[in-house]
Amino acid sequence: MKRQFFHEKHQFRLLLCGHKAVEAGAVCLILMVHGNLPALTAAHFELASKSGLLAVFPALVLSFTQLARHLANKWTSSAVLGVCAFFADAAAHRSNYSGEYTEAALTALGAFCLSVAISYTPLGRYIDRMAETFLEHPGPARIRKVEG
């Protein structure tokens, strides 16, 4: 018998939030230096990490509510990440582009696109399989009344 350290629902939460934090953080990191990767510093990684963690916190909270079933849909979870990434990036640091919220908007769009793209990879398919176990509701079977 295989022993699990975490319940399957918690595994899904950890996997979902972990990879969404990396997606939002990676986009934020690239945009902060305008794509000039050799210019990255520890301060950039710190800000991007903060932005990524702030972006997934609402999704983590949402995963404990009845609305959690929406996180199993790749489009919905990507859209939630995009919206949360906008607010997280705006809260984490000022924009490095013209306009107060330009970088936050670009981070949101980039996080959404990266999240959708990753959902079509083997990792995305694995997360989809985890989502199926997350959506299963153990409990008494409901008997449907058949008319006829």
Give me the pLDDT at residue 140, please. 47
Q: In sequence order, what are the residues at sequence separation of 6 or more whose Cβ sits closer than 8 angstroms to the Cβ of residue 70?
A: 62, 76, 77, 80
Give me the pLDDT at residue 42, please. 93
Asked if residues 28 and 51 have their Cβ atoms less than 8 Å apart, the reply is: yes
Tens place of pLDDT for every residue, the chain, 148 residues?
556 666 777 777 788 888 889 999 999 999 888 888 898 899 989 988 999 999 999 888 888 888 878 787 889 889 999 999 999 999 888 887 888 899 889 999 999 999 999 989 998 888 877 777 766 655 444 445 556 5
Give me the pLDDT at residue 73, please. 84
Give me the pLDDT at residue 111, please. 93
- Write down the pTM of the prediction: 0.78
Asked if residues 112 and 82 have their Cβ atoms less than 8 Å apart, the reply is: yes
Give me the pLDDT at residue 137, please. 57
Give me the pLDDT at residue 4, please. 65
Give me the pLDDT at residue 112, please. 95
Give me the pLDDT at residue 2, please. 59
31-52 per-position pLDDT tens digit: 888 888 898 899 989 988 999 9
Amino acid at 25: G
Query: Domain-by-domain residue ranges, the chain?
Result: 19-135
